[in-house]
Amino acid sequence: MAQKHRIPRETTPQTPQAAKTSTTATAPTAAQTTPIVSKQAAAAAKQQINSWDQVVRNLTNYYVDSTPQRTKLIDAFMAFLVVVGALQFLYCVLAGNYPFNAFLSGFSATVGQFVLTASLRIQTNEANKSDFPSVSPERAFADFVACSLILHFFCVNFIN
Amino acid sequence: MSANSVQVLANAGKGESTRTLLRVIILLLIAGAAIASRLFSVIRFESIIHEFDPWFNFRATRYLVAHGFYKFWDWFDDRTWHPLGRVTGGTLYPGLMVTSGAIYHALRALTIPVDIRNICVLLAPAFSGLTAYAAYLLTNEMTPSPSAGLLAAAFMGIAPGYISRSVAGSYDNEAIAIFLLVFTFYLWIKALKQGSMLWGALCALFYGYMVASWGGYAFITCLLPLHAFVLICMGRYSTRLYVSYTTWYALGTLASMQIPFVGFLPVKTSEHMPALGIFGFLQLLAFLDYVRSAIPSRQYQTFLWLFASGTFGLGLLVLVVATSAGVIAPWSGRFYSLWDTGYAKIHIPIIASVSEHQPTAWPAFFFDLNMLIWLFPAGVYLCFQQLADEHVFIVVYALFGSYFAGVMVRLMLTLTPVVCVAAAIAISNVLDTYLDARSPNPEDHQVDDVSDGTAKKAAKSGLKSTSKPVVGVYSTVSKSIVATAMTAYLLLFVLHCTWVTSNAYSSPSVVLASRLPDGSQHIIDDYREAYQWLRQNTREDAKIMSWWDYGYQIGGMADRPTLVDNNTWNNTHIATVGKAMSSREEVSYPIMRQHEVDYVLVVFGGLLGYSGDDINKFLWMVRIAEGIWPDEVKEREFFTPRGEYKVDADATETMKNSLMYKMSYYNYQSLFPPGQAQDRVRGVRLPDVGPTLNVLDEAFTSENWIIRIYKVKDLDNLGRDHASAAAFERGHKKKKANKKRVARLLRVD
């Protein structure tokens, strides 16, 4: 709900024409001077390229500055899972999927563990508190453990 | 007068604990009613397994109870699909059998000795009580009104659309699957609302149970992603959606793959791809959501559009390429027939031949759901009014379910829960409005307005329409009229449900009932008579050939090996039987010899007027056989030149020479005075001279001629073919006739 309202509100100050192509702060003026659509798109694309490294820089700054240490630990675990999953997938592509059971259970163990960890990360995030009125961080961790147990039970059972 | 007692009642209803107690009692009563209304068949007939598929489930359950779980899991059945056999343990949904096996052992442990048959017969009614409770929980998630849940439970308990598959004795997968369906939906809503991993995991576990129980689990597999997708499209992505959906998918998919029959399907077939696609899409969205919180919103919009559209396109491309390259199996035939109702008829006759796969006729909706069907849109409309995440689910489910219920009769079953929930929301809304004993007081509102301030009052006096009107029902008359009408409708609904249940859905179809002229009931028990005959008069391993409809019953009741059964996993084998039935004797005999057939069983309703017999199904046998041997079996040749399907004197030569025709009408004319032989199903008079059978001997014909069993003759001792051997047996007469004619000719010359 919140997101649905937020985006229109921010774009309404612009003129309707500008709002269509607004990408960065300078976009509206450029758009107003060039009425042809293809030119607009080209200009927008140029500015996007300029803004890309800015986006990435903002992102890394934000991450390094405002993430608690514990969350970073969770992130490291998630990165590890991504690497393991990617390796398994690569192996499957290169060396064949012969024990398909084993591949599937190994791969889905990493994927499942990844999403569970992501869920834990979301639920323990202070900013998301309002989304989860009934889930305290402790409860989130207990859920995480329970779900992981179920996940690995299925994986072990499926591995043949 | 009675004001005092009303006061007492009203006070009694106010306490929280009293309400809870009342609710529990009401729910128990509803469960009792749901169970009771399903017992018609047991009372009318007896505690017996119904129809076709339940016989297989019953046989499998007995096997499970007798041999234990591991044996059951690895069960290779060599008594069906002779000579191929069937890997039964790997090709069934074990949920139903394991459930009743568990109940059986639990009762044994409690020292209650109970026959496994009675557990099987009463499993469906017992689970219908639980379904009613699940509907109550689901509805309570939708609306704050406490009455809606109870109404939904009551509707769910007695709606004929659900009863049709869950009367006592209907021991089929749907018996427990509908409970699991509704309960999984409830858990999904709960998980979505709370954004809790644990509820998501519970949802996944019940989804796994559902997968273990019924092939219809694909309904959930498609509906939950659809709901998630609609929410995303409405701009309602939330972290709660991410948590609940990904937990459900990651655990649920793994759980579903534990069932051998499902195996790798969730990663290989297109039916399961939407769920996987939404799963991946949610990962992206979660990432984007995180990025959105990290960087300014304008930058974010660039990021979003490029990223989202790029990835979505890429994913679609991969899906298309993978499907065309054969990595992902193309959509299965049953799935196509859901979109194009004519598809199955053209391409896969075996699917189209099943009556429950036919498109639904319009009256069926009213027949199965009665007044719920017109309350259903009202309930959906009320969901639109509030439109929180869970209401979107009801709307999506309603659309999805209505479509599929329209396509296939059987899927009426999946529509029924949402109809019950929506109708309960509508009715409870009406009742809450009209049963409110207090009349709204306009003065209260005016006082409020005055206290708000004088400026407002001035504006109000100027423009009447700006003031909010006080909404409410003032007159007691209109209240009582509406309340009475609703009550009358509800009572009529109960009447209708009871009537439908007792008349349409409570027949075991193994035992038929008819009324004698004096009104008393007459039981026609030909099926069991014939199966009992097979059990007692044939060898243990005598192979029985029949059309696949009766395969499970022969296996369950007669305990004899069959060639084909209701599992229909091997179309060619079924076509072989179809060919044997629809060809001339000389063609059929080698086929039967090759398959070591000892007996042939046909169902014939001509004497009794029983319309579900093999002659009426015959065209399907022809079609299925034609699909494999288009040169040898031709459907056209079974129709008269005028395009009619006839069995009387006008029948085509192919028809008259087909084994099925001969077996059905063999010796039939001898029952009647000459020239009066009549087929009561087709309503035609038969020729005086009946068909002759050379390669088969009549072995058994049941009391009402419904089941006829023939023994396949052995090879002739003197090496003749059967036709000439039989001609020799009949010999003298024919020869004399020949001689006479020849002699006469000679004399004339």
Nearest to B302 among A6, A23, A142 (CB): A23
Backbone angles phi, psi at A78, to 5 degrees: -65, -40
Which residue of A66, A114, A150, A159 is the best one to mutate when testing the B interface, meaning the one whose CB has the most B CBs within 10 A? Answer: A150
- In angstroms, the separation between the Cα of residue A159 and the nearest Cα of chain B is 10
CB contact under 8 A, B297 and A108: no
**Quick check: B455 and B411 in contact, CB under 8 A?**
no
Q: In A, which residues are within 8 Å of B267 by CB distance?
A: 104
- In angstroms, the separation between the Cα of residue A135 and the nearest Cα of chain B is 7
State residue B470's pLDDT score.
59
CB contact under 8 A, A154 and B295: no
Q: How far apart are CA A50 and CA A57, in angstroms?
A: 12
pLDDT of A126 higher than 90: no
CB contact under 8 A, B239 and A132: yes
CB contact under 8 A, A24 and B237: no
A33 three-state secondary structure: helix
State residue A45's pLDDT score.
55
CB contact under 8 A, B302 and A55: yes
Q: In B, which residues are within 8 Å of A122 by CB distance?
A: 239, 242-243, 286
Q: In A, which residues are within 8 Å of B204 by CB distance?
A: 150
CB contact under 8 A, B294 and A59: yes
CB contact under 8 A, A108 and B204: no
- In angstroms, the separation between the Cα of residue A154 and the nearest Cα of chain B is 6
Q: How far apart are CA B746 and CA B749, in angstroms?
A: 5
Q: Which residues contact B298 (CB under 8 A, 6 or more apart)?
A: A10, A22, A23, A24, A25, A27
Q: In A, which residues are within 8 Å of B236 by CB distance?
A: 1, 3-4
Q: How far apart are CA B656 and CA B666, in angstroms?
A: 11
pLDDT of A146 higher than 90: yes
Nearest to B294 among A63, A123, A144 (CB): A63
CB contact under 8 A, A154 and B267: no
CB contact under 8 A, A132 and B235: no
The DSSP element (H or E) to which B509 belongs, if any, is none
Nearest to B235 among A3, A63, A132 (CB): A3
Which portions of chain B are predicted below pLDDT 50? 1-2, 447-466, 734-746, 748-749
Based on DSSP, count helices (H) and strands (E) in chain A, helices before strands: 7, 0
User: What mean pLDDT is predicted for residues A119-140?
Assistant: 84
ipTM comes to 0.79
Q: How many beta-carbon pairs below 8 A join chains A and B?
A: 128
Residue A56: closest C-alpha in chain B? B295
Reported confidence tier of residue A19, pLDDT bands at 50, 70, 90: very low
State residue B328's pLDDT score.
59
Nearest to A24 among B194, B264, B299 (CB): B299
**Quick check: B77 and B62 in contact, CB under 8 A?**
no
Q: In terms of pLDDT, which residue wins out, A126 or B86?
A: B86
Residue B364 corresponds to which amino acid? A
Q: In A, which residues are within 8 Å of B258 by CB distance?
A: 154, 157-158
CB contact under 8 A, A131 and B239: yes
A24 three-state secondary structure: coil
State residue A48's pLDDT score.
55
State residue A80's pLDDT score.
95
Q: How far apart are CA B328 and CA B330, in angstroms?
A: 6
Which residue of B283, B302, B318, B389 is the best one to mutate when testing the A interface, meaning the one whose CB has the most A CBs within 10 A? Answer: B302
Closest-CA residue to B147 (of B496, B433, B416): B433
Task: Concatenate the DSSP letters of all residues of B214-251 into one string.
Answer: -GGGHHHHHHHHHHHHHHHHTT---HHHHHHHHHHHHH
Encode pLDDT of B180-232 as tens digits.
999 999 999 999 998 889 999 999 999 999 999 998 898 899 899 999 999 98
Q: Which residues contact B705 (CB under 8 A, 6 or more apart)?
A: B526, B604, B606, B607, B608, B668
CB contact under 8 A, B194 and A132: yes
Encode pLDDT of B571-627 as tens digits.
888 888 888 888 888 888 888 888 888 999 999 888 888 888 888 888 888 888 888
CB contact under 8 A, B197 and A158: no
- In angstroms, the separation between the Cα of residue A3 and the nearest Cα of chain B is 7
Residues of B with CB under 8 A from a CB of A: 194-198, 200-201, 204-205, 234-240, 242-243, 246-247, 249-251, 253-255, 257-258, 264, 267, 283, 286, 291, 293-299, 301-303, 306
State residue B493's pLDDT score.
92
- In angstroms, the separation between the Cα of residue A134 and the nearest Cα of chain B is 7
CB contact under 8 A, A134 and B194: yes
Q: In A, which residues are within 8 Å of B237 by CB distance?
A: 3
CB contact under 8 A, A59 and B195: no
DSSP class of residue B306?
Answer: H
Distance of CA B26 to the CA centre of its chain: 29
Closest-CA residue to B154 (of B483, B436, B493, B454): B493
Closest-CA residue to B162 (of B183, B148, B141, B176): B176
3-state secondary structure B108-149: HHCCCCCCHHHHHHHHHHHHHHHHHHHHHHHHHHHCCCHHHH
- In angstroms, the separation between the Cα of residue A132 and the nearest Cα of chain B is 6
Nearest to A147 among B251, B293, B306 (CB): B251
Distance of CA B91 to the CA centre of its chain: 18
Q: In B, which residues are within 8 Å of A111 by CB distance?
A: 250
Q: Which residues contact B650 (CB under 8 A, 6 or more apart)?
A: B640, B644
CB contact under 8 A, B299 and A54: yes
